Structure formats: structure tokens, C-alpha cells
Amino acid sequence: MKIVRYESVPANEPAVGVVVGDAMYPLPVTSVGVLLALGRAELNALLANAIAGTPAEPLPSRLLPPIDGRTEVWASGVTYTRSRTARMEESQDADIYDRVYNAARPELFFKAPSWRVITDGDDVWQRNDSALNVPEPELALVVNADAEIVGLLAANDMSSRSIEGENPLYLPQAKVYDRSCVISNGIVVIPGGEVGSHEIVLRIDRGGGTVFSGTANSSQLHRTPESLVADLYSQLEFPEGAVLSTGTGIVPDLEFVLEDGDVVVIDIEGVGSIRNVVRTATPKTRAFA
């Protein structure tokens, strides 16, 4: 069962539905943010009532990113051993990554507002001012306003390795830019909140062949999903919920260079897939008085 956003016909505006198999059931809400403002039990009841009492419709041909409104995307860092090793290799301040891996407090950072998020089939951007850019395949948690995990997504936390490696204080520039946050096009609902373990696969294709592939499993997370949510929500309110990406366990070698036109494919078992063509961002020119 997945929650989706789509462009309704003939209203030509975003609508929300729940997908079961090959059927979609429209939901009586104006946004996904409204759903994430509900408690888990209330959300489960609303979805069950829609499936039982609403005529099914065919699946839309085009699905939109499944978050909107005031929902934010946050991300975790250095939550897998491989991520710690890679960050230490690329950084001039390697010990900070070793310290945060073992610290009580995790690395958490803001990634994107809902309106900046893209989904499967959209072009993903790499920064033009970074020599090394990589996709970061991650299991993402969908969390409601009450800090309950209600769903899962596949995510790509695009990262500029050379920028963060030059100085860890540059992390916001390495992580936060246009078209750098990708999530799968449907929220997989977990009615009881059980995250489980999921195989994560990354493949990068170029010119008809594969130039990188790697696998990880979310069971290799150094921290529990629940503890990451608790830290994120400890000093923040999210009235329309949040998406929390849990970090990556797949990182290409430091010599790997992502190229314009590469195709990034991320598949997370039981959660979703995203496929995006890489484009190099062009600098934006602003005229200031």
C-alpha cells in the first residue's frame, strides 16, 4: 500500500491517493501534509475507509513527489561503517567523522523543503563547482507530526564530495542545492511502524554499460531508525511531518567521477526504485541593486 500524489484530471492540480496493487483510491484530503498531521491510528483508519468505500481508478501515468506543504526532508550522516570510512578518506579533518560515528549524538542536517524535492524520472543535478559528486542511496523514514514512523521511501541524497572534503563546514553547500534531493514516487505505508531490514542497490550506467554498482542492507545501520527520529524531533516540531533519510552504506571509491548523462538507479527492496539522469547544474546569475 502506497500513498501517492498525482495530477488530477480534469482539475489539473495535485491530488492524493492510496495505491493497492494496480488500483488507486482517491483520498478526501488536499495534501499529503494533511495525512502526516494525523496520528498513526487515524491515518490507518482513513486509508482503510478509502479503500473500502471509494471506487478504484487506474494508476496515473505520472506521479509527483509524494510530499508537499510544510513537510521537510532531513538527512543523517555517518550512520554506516562504509560512510565513515569514505568521509575520512576524502576529508582533511578525518577524525571528526570517526568521532560522530561513535558519539551519542548523530549527524543530522536539513536537506530540502518539499517544493525542492524531485522523484523518479526527473533529472538530478550535480554541482558544476565540485570535481567529485556522488549519489547516496538511502532508506528514508516518513514520520508524522507525533514522531511516529508511518512510511518508507527510497532516497538519493546527492553529495559534492570535494566540497565537503575541503572543509566539513561546507556541508550545507555540498548537500543542499537545486534538484539534489530525490525520493521515490510513493510512500510505502507501514501501519504498525515496523521499519524492518531492506536490501539497497545502487547502479550507475554510462553509455549503455554499468560503471559502478554496490549493495548494502539497512540492517547495517549503526543507529536505530527510532533513535534518529527521536534526536530529530527532540527540539523541533513538524506539524506536517518530516522525511528523515537514514544515511548511506554505499559509496564509490574516491577516484570515481560522476559524469553528465550518467543514469543513477536506486532500488530498495520492498520500498521503491528511482531512476534519474545526471545533469550538471549551470551557475545562476543574479543581478543585485
Kindly report, residue by residue over 61-98, the tens digit of the pLDDT: 899 999 999 999 999 999 987 555 555 555 556 677 87
pTM equals 0.93
Give how many domains the chain has, as a whole number: 2
Domain boundary among 15, 47, 64: 64
Domain for residue 289, yes or no? no
| 60 and 76 assigned to the same domain | no
- What is the structure's pLDDT at 152? 99
| 59 and 76 assigned to the same domain | no
| 185 and 43 assigned to the same domain | no
| 12 and 35 assigned to the same domain | yes
| 228 and 166 assigned to the same domain | yes
Instruction: Report percent pLDDT > 70 for the chain.
Output: 94
- What is the structure's pLDDT at 93? 60
User: Which residue has 495535485 as its cell numbers?
Assistant: 14
| 133 and 239 assigned to the same domain | yes
Dihedral, 43, 179, 251, 249 alpha carbons, nearest 10? -10
Average pLDDT, the chain: 93
| 242 and 147 assigned to the same domain | yes
| 31 and 155 assigned to the same domain | no
DSSP annotation of 62 reads: S
Domain boundary among 20, 38, 64: 64
Q: How far apart are CA 20 and CA 207, in angstroms?
A: 36
Q: How far apart are CA 226 and CA 74, in angstroms?
A: 14
| 10 and 117 assigned to the same domain | no
| 236 and 259 assigned to the same domain | yes
Q: How far apart are CA 107 and CA 164, in angstroms?
A: 14
- What is the structure's pLDDT at 28? 96
Q: Is the dihedral of CA 49, 53, 56, 62 positive or negative?
A: negative
Residue 243's identity, in one-letter code, is: V
Domain boundary among 25, 44, 64: 64
Range of the domain at 8: 2-64
Give the Cβ contact number of residue 286 at 10 Å. Answer: 5
Confidence of residue 21 (pLDDT cuts 50, 70, 90): very high
| 49 and 95 assigned to the same domain | no
Tens-digit pLDDT profile for residues 127-165: 999 999 999 999 999 999 999 999 999 999 999 999 998
| 110 and 33 assigned to the same domain | no
